Amino acid sequence: MELPRDVLRAVEQALVEDRADHDATSLALVPAARRARGRIVARADGVLSGCDYAAAAFVACDAAVELEWLAEEGARVRDGQEILRCHGTARGLLAAERTALNFLQQLSGVASATAEMVAAVGREVTVLDTRKTVPGLRHGQKRAVVSGGGVNHRRDLEDQLLLKENHFALSGMDYAEAVRHAKAASGGRIVGVEADTEEQAVQALEMGADYVLLDNFALAELPAVAGRLRARFPRAVLEVSGGIRLASAAGLRGCGVDRVSVGWLTHSAPALDLAFYLEPAA
């Protein structure tokens, strides 16, 4: 497994943050020559993500470590299931342990939450992430969303346009004019437009919006609104957003929307519980 350089850099930074090369406990107690075997085991059901981050942590602390992955990026894991077996220097495994787990648990938490959301909304609705990511982990979190069955929304402020209320307020143009202007100035980028009313959604689509973000429409209204929009714009892409949690997600089934963007997948998903066991080895 070749490790991407943003993964390597994030892991380097985390190891420095943890002063992993200067583990006072290991230096005091564990002989330099001692070798060990370790195992990462799931303590809950979920979807695995971040294996490359964990691998990078172990390799960074012991360049000759042997890693045997028993589950891979995106795999569903069960409570008690073994995920990784590793063999290397005892000090290296101890130094890497916390950093490896911190990445793996965080990212698997995102993947697991995404998988639950995907199951809740059903096949017809695509689950998207947002830019509400943990600073420094955007790439890892967005990959975790894919591993959990979701799809990535725009990567950053540069690669797509998304017109929201604040942009309309600050543009000094009326709604339709702003959409047309954005489309013309987009340089070929995708242009999404937030709509607060059906009328705005119509204007946005007329002006060539690549997708419409229906914001804060009541779930009960959505089927009728979506139906009318599709009748007029058969190729329209309809997205909903805002406050949809797991409990309410099933309500999106049959609403006629194409996709839902969900902030909490990346800003509030709880970590997946994982344990790390070590024992002396030859």
Distances in whole angstroms, Cα of residue 75 to Cα of each of 50, 70, 123, 141, 146: 11, 10, 19, 16, 12
Which CB, 223 or 245, lies closer to a second copy? 245
Of the ranges 71-79, 129-137, 195-203, 214-222, which one interacts with a second copy (CB under 8 A)?
129-137
Asked if 234 is part of the footprint of a second copy (rule: CB under 8 A), the reply reads no
Give the footprint of a second copy on residues 93-122 (CB under 8 A): 94-95, 97-99, 101-103, 105-106, 109
Is 132 annotated as catalytic? yes
Q: To the nearest whole angstrom, how small is the minimum distance from the Cβ of residue 274 to a second copy?
A: 11
Residue with tokens 């929307």: 257
Instruction: Quote the strand ranges of 70-180, DSSP E.
Output: 76-77, 82-89, 126-128, 160-163
Q: How far apart are CA 260 and CA 249, in angstroms?
A: 9
Q: How far apart are CA 155 and CA 143, in angstroms?
A: 11
Beta-ladder partners of 69: 84
Q: To the nearest whole angstrom, how small is the minimum distance from the Cβ of residue 121 to a second copy?
A: 17
Which of 178, 201, 240, 252 is in the footprint of a second copy by CB under 8 A? Answer: 178
Asked if 147 is part of the footprint of a second copy (rule: CB under 8 A), the reply reads no
Q: To the nearest whole angstrom, how small is the minimum distance from the Cβ of residue 224 to a second copy?
A: 27
Is 215 annotated as catalytic? yes
CB 83 within 8 A of CB 71: yes
Give the footprint of a second copy on residues 239-278 (CB under 8 A): 264, 267-268, 270-271, 276-278
Residue with tokens 């204007």: 203
What is the phi-psi region of residue 276: left when phi exceeds 0, alpha when psi lies from -120 to 50, beta otherwise? beta
Question: Catalytic one among 34, 85, 131, 132?
Answer: 132
Which CB, 95 or 224, lies closer to a second copy? 95
